[in-house]
Each structure stands twice: as structure tokens, then as C-alpha cells.
Amino acid sequence: MTLYQPFLDHAISLMQDQLSLQPYPIPEGFERKEEITGKGKRLERVITTSYAFKSPKLRQIRAAHVQGGSSLQVLNFVIFPQLTYDLPFFGADLVTLPGGHLIALDMQPLFHDQAYQQQYTEPILALFKSYQQHLPWGGDFPEEAKPFFSPAFLWTRPQETEVVVTRVFEAFKDYLQAYLNFVEQAKLITDSQRLEEILQAQRRYIAYRANKDPARGMFTRLYGKAWTEEYIHGFLFDLERQLVAIS
């Protein structure tokens, strides 16, 4: 079972059509990782595969795809804009566990002022509302996470896999296309104060995501702490490493 492979295939195909896509380096040891888990008849092979690209306006486009049979399927797909654009982040967390599915889709904002919301949230609110009626709100999430999400945050917990294959997949496709439309329209920022604000907003987001990564426990159990921490800081959320390398 590879529930989220069609999502990944669609995203890569769409980006190849619409962006000047280039490979983004994946540190050695992270392209693919395998481990056998469980006992006796419940042995399961868990494979984690990484993908990464970049384009002129997007610093890093990356995916972590975890396949562990019917009870463990994960696609974490995030787009980080270049620091010279005020674009939001694109974030898709698609998680299937024994208890059901956890779906989070958003264009995660750098800022929350009215002008920013008019530019990047209001154009997709109709899209959000069209899916929300079929993909109801998934319940509470941490208070400290709220600054990192937009009013168009699609957060839902469907029980049926059929809903993931149909409604969630359609929402993923529409959100990604809307994001690529924003990318196409994005204008280079040259104002030094605004560039500093963008840098600090990206750093806040990445520090939060790296420190609170919900996959940390799963990866640590599968592959050990050292591999997991290096994967999170050296690949999944690598901005600080990249800034050090540039300086």
C-alpha cells in the first residue's frame, strides 16, 4: 500500500511543468532509509524516501515519504521560499496511523497583518470553505502552533481511506496549484528592512517546526536519535545550516 505516492507524483509532475525545477542536494544517508519493525508475524518493512528540489523563487522544495504498510503511511511535503520573496510556506502533512488519518494542508504565513492576509489568504478562502464542508475541522491543536497557520488551514481527521483518495487528494492538488500561482506572481523584495523581517519570520517558523516535529518520535524509534536529529536539522529544516554555510 502506497497511499500517498500519487500525491507525491502529482506534485513533482505539476512543479516540473510550472517551475524551472532543479535538484536540491540531499545529504548522504537520507535519500532512502529502511528498517524492519514489529515481531513475529507482524514484522513490517518501513522505508523512508527523501526528495528535494529548488527553483529561482523557492529555496527548498522537499518531501519525506514513509511507507510502512497499511498502518503507517506518511507524506510530509514542504516548500520554503527564497529569502528574497514574502511568499508563505506550503505545508502538507498527510499521516495514516492505525487509528485513522491526520491531514493538515496550509499556506503557512510569514506575517499576520491585514495586507499579507489580503494577498495570500483571502484568495484561497473560497477554496478552503469548499473543502471544509466535506473535510470537517480535526479538533484542537497546540496554542503555540496557531501563529504558524493561516485562516485557510485545512486540518481534518477522516476515518475512511476513500475520503483521503478522493477529497483530500483533490484539496492537495488545488492548494498546490493555488500556491504555484502565488509563486508565479511573486515579486522580488529589495527593501532591506522587509528582507530582515522575512529572514526572521522564516527562522521563527523553522525553529518551531524543527523543535516540535511530530515525526521525531517515530523516526527515533525506527532509525535512532543521531540519524533523526541530523535528518531534521540537516535536511528537513536546514535553513540555519544553510545560513552558516553562506556566511
Q: What domain count does the chain have? A: 1
Q: What is the pLDDT of residue 65?
A: 98
Q: How far is CA 4 from CA 79, 93, 193, 218, 235, in A?
A: 17, 11, 40, 18, 21
Residue 25 sits in a domain of what CATH number?
3.40.1500.20
Domain ranges, residue 226: 5-246
Q: In this predicted model, what pLDDT tens digit does every residue of 143-193 receive, in sequence order?
A: 888 889 999 999 999 999 999 999 999 999 999 999 999 999 999 999 999
Angle at 14 between CA 189 and CA 111, to 5 degrees: 30
How far is it, in rounded angstroms, from Cα 53 to Cα 61? 5
- With beta carbons less than 8 A apart as the criterion, state whether 2 and 73 touch: yes
Task: State the pTM of this model.
Answer: 0.96
Q: Has residue 120 got a pLDDT over 70?
A: yes
Backbone angles phi, psi at 168, to 5 degrees: -65, -40
- With beta carbons less than 8 A apart as the criterion, state whether 62 and 24 touch: yes
- With beta carbons less than 8 A apart as the criterion, state whether 187 and 195 touch: no
Helices 5-18, 169-185: axis angle to 10 degrees equals 20
Q: What is the pLDDT of residue 1?
A: 63
Q: In this predicted model, what pLDDT tens digit does every residue of 194-233 receive, in sequence order?
A: 999 999 999 999 999 999 999 999 999 999 999 999 999 9
